[in-house]
Amino acid sequence: MATHARPAPPANPSGGVRERVLEVADYLFYTDGINQTSVDAIAFQADVSTRAFARAFASKEDLIVAYVNQRHESDVDLFSTIAATELSHQLVLNMVLSEVIIDVTSPGFHGCAFINAAIECREYLAVQAAVKNHREWYTGAATEVLRQAGHHYPADAADDVLLARDGAMNSGYGGDPTAATAALRRAIDRVLAEIPDTSSSFSI
């Protein structure tokens, strides 16, 4: 879903120590990379002492897990908001994937934050678990939407949706965003065409 690309760092992080650190880490981890971002750099930009940082987060791994979980919760909130509308299930899926297209074509896009975290943090089992949790939630949510829309094989179709999303994000970052998002539209159109009694197509 959304990757929350941000073209500029937070100018004046607000809130308590934990909130300020997370706000800065969210930008630096996504923009510069998790492995390229030191705890000291985050603490400096968040204007917190090393001791205060350590009280808020036991380790860098702890901070990365919080970063991944915060982005997960943001996606859950976005999906819940869209799903709560009176739109058809097909249009709900369209709107969710439209958020991906907006991200891929936005300034500051650096790929999928969850895939990036999984790649950069292979040694951190808690991070891998947080990423896995997000991806399982994503396919579960897509499966339910497709089931309610009448797809005969909603779980398989949800896997197709996730694969198309991953491909669009990776290709959009490493190649041509326009071609990547066009391919995503075609992939989603094929999924929607498998739903009986519908002529829906992907639109944004």
pLDDT for 61-79, tens place per residue?
999 999 999 999 999 999 9
HSE toward the beta carbon, residue 58, CA cutoff 13 A:
3
Q: What is the pTM of this model?
A: 0.89
The pLDDT assigned to 11 comes to: 60
The CATH number of 59-193 is 1.10.357.10
User: Could you tell me if 150 and 196 are in contact, meaning their C-beta atoms sit under 8 angstroms apart?
Assistant: yes
Distance CA 189, CA 183 (A): 10
**175 CB-near residues (< 8 Å, 6+ apart):** none
Per-residue CA distances from 102 to 65, 98, 114, 118, 139 (Å) = 25, 6, 17, 23, 20
pLDDT for 9-44, tens place per residue?
666 666 799 999 999 999 999 999 999 999 999 999
Name the DSSP letter for residue 194: T
Q: DSSP letter string over 8-73?
A: S--SS--SSHHHHHHHHHHHHHHHH-TTT--HHHHHHHHT--HHHHHHH-SSHHHHHHHHHHHHHH
